[in-house]
Amino acid sequence: MLRFLVALVLLAAHGSAARADTTVLHADLICDQKRSVAIVRFALSYNDDPPHYAELPATVDGRLSSLPGTDRTDCRLSHGPDIRIRSGEKQAFAHGAGGADPPAFFSLWINHRKVLSKFEWKPGYDDSFNNKPWLVALAIRPQSLTFCYRNENKEAIACKQQPLNLNKYVIDAEEYPANSNPFPPVGTVLIDPKSYDIPACQRYLDAIRKDSSDPSIYPPFQSHLSASITWQRRQDFHSLSLLDGKFTNMGDRQIVVISGDSHYFDGDIFVLVPRQVSVDDVAAFFGGEDIEQDIEKSPPEGWTVISGGRPGLYADVTARYVHLVPEEIGDELFFFAYPTNNEKQPSGILLKPSPSSGFDSLCIFQRVEPHY
């Protein structure tokens, strides 16, 4: 359950472990109204150090890039369009080549039209090791865009201009809505109207929020609803554990969990089996080299397998990439499920195992994400 927190730490880490520097990504927008030119600049700094933006050739921006940064995201050209940028980065992972160094991107709106969406400016993941050029700046003129790149370890900047025809792009009604009703703030967790019991879902959401020291972390992993649950971990099978606790909706069954935190299997599979079934029996059933094939096998009679990739529980996501957090609510066992890849929807599902077999998806949660 600490994997998500580890990923957050890795998201802020760059360079050697000895330095333990926190990286800060900067995207800066400047408009020169007199000359009707704007630049978007990008830089990476460490800790509290100010960003050092690249200075472009004067023929590209008329030395606009020599000005200090302001971290602005909106500006307007004289008698011309308004310009907006929004930057972000992809998800960090605790595994995989370059997993802790995700790519950074930005979106660009000109005159309420989305011209670029999630355009990568800082390479990441596998490209972290390939010295791929970074986009250090973008010069914007009424009829052109000029993209300027530089290798991370080189000073030379190469720029390439392309024509800009705003008529090719439509007004982004989501970014610039016609009505004045405000959207919920980014990070807000909403309850899907299709949820089984919306008041109960709200009570659950309120309960886990109280345990979160950082509201930006969703879901909070140190919930008191999980505090009473203990684990017996198999020493010879590091990803298999027995869940302790007596739950009124489990009857005379025990709970075995198979977990992974690798690039191939980053998820959880819970197996509810009769008390007389041993952990070795479960280990043997899931003991193949391909967890994908194991999860597709028909389980023995009396077994309930709860995992992703099933109707009502991320049917379009493989079981290898869905996590399940056990929760105890009123002496009953529940699971909070969420996808390893946070781009998958919905953001979370609360489910309850049935006394004999199967499970019910009770609550569907959706976190409001930035619009790119």
- 329 and 298 both lie in a single domain: yes
Identify the pLDDT of residue 9.
Answer: 26
Confidence bin at 103 (pLDDT 50/70/90): very high
Identify the pLDDT of residue 16.
Answer: 35
- 332 and 211 both lie in a single domain: yes
Domain-embedded: residue 184: no
Domain-embedded: residue 136: yes
Q: Which residue would you say has higher pLDDT here, 4 or 192?
A: 192
Q: Return the DSSP state at 292.
A: H
Domain-embedded: residue 121: yes
The total domain count for the chain is: 2
- 29 and 91 both lie in a single domain: yes
- 6 pLDDT more than 60: no
Nearest to 366 by CA among 186, 179, 208: 186
CA contacts within 13 A on the Cβ side of 35? 14
Please report, for residues 76, 128, 360, the alpha-carbon distance to residue 363 in angstroms, rounded to integers and kept in the order given.
44, 39, 9
Digit-coded pLDDT (tens) for 203-230? 998 888 766 655 555 555 567 787 778 8
- 161 and 218 both lie in a single domain: no
- 303 and 363 both lie in a single domain: yes
**For residue 161, how many other CB atoms are within 10 A of its CB?**
14
Residue 139 CA, chain-centre distance (Å), reads 30
Nearest to 27 by CA among 49, 10, 8, 44: 44
Adjacent-strand bridge partners of 25: 44
- 19 and 150 both lie in a single domain: yes
Last residue of a domain, one of 136, 168, 200: 168
- 47 and 145 both lie in a single domain: yes
- 62 and 204 both lie in a single domain: no
Domain-embedded: residue 180: no
- 224 and 142 both lie in a single domain: no
DSSP 3-state assignment of 231? strand
Confidence bin at 108 (pLDDT 50/70/90): very high
- 320 and 280 both lie in a single domain: yes
Identify the pLDDT of residue 18.
Answer: 39
DSSP 46-107: ETTPPP-PPPPPHHHHTTGGGSPP----EEE-TTS-EEEEEEEE----SSSTTTTS--EEEE
Mean local confidence (pLDDT), 134-157 = 91
Domain-embedded: residue 173: no
DSSP 3-state assignment of 9? helix
Mean local confidence (pLDDT), 280-293 = 86
Q: Whole-angstrom Cα distance, residue 3 to residue 20?
A: 19
Size of the chain, expressed as the number of residues it contains: 372
Domain-embedded: residue 297: yes
- 245 pLDDT more than 90: no
Range of the domain at 218: 189-367
Last residue of a domain, one of 168, 202, 224: 168
Q: Are 64 and 30 in contact (CB under 8 A)?
A: yes
Q: Whole-angstrom Cα distance, residue 69 to residue 67?
A: 7
How wide is the angle at C-alpha 180 spanned by C-alphas 177 and 182, nearest 5°? 85
Residue 87 CA, chain-centre distance (Å), reads 14
Percentage of residues of the chain with pLDDT beyond 70:
90
- 207 and 161 both lie in a single domain: no
Task: Kindly report whether the global pTM for this prediction surpasses the value 0.85.
Answer: no
Query: Which of 291-325 are b and which e, b meaning 16 or more Cβ less than 10 Å from the residue's Cβ?
Result: beebbeeebeeebbbbbbbbeebbeebbbbbbbbb
CA contacts within 13 A on the Cβ side of 44? 19
Identify the pLDDT of residue 291.
Answer: 86
Adjacent-strand bridge partners of 40: 29, 138
Digit-coded pLDDT (tens) for 293-330? 888 999 999 999 999 999 999 999 999 999 999 999 98
Domain-embedded: residue 208: yes
* Sheet of 37-46, strands arranged across: 13-14, 21-32, 37-46, 134-141, 144-150, 158-163
Domain-embedded: residue 217: yes
- 255 and 194 both lie in a single domain: yes
Digit-coded pLDDT (tens) for 48-80? 888 999 999 999 998 999 998 888 999 998 877
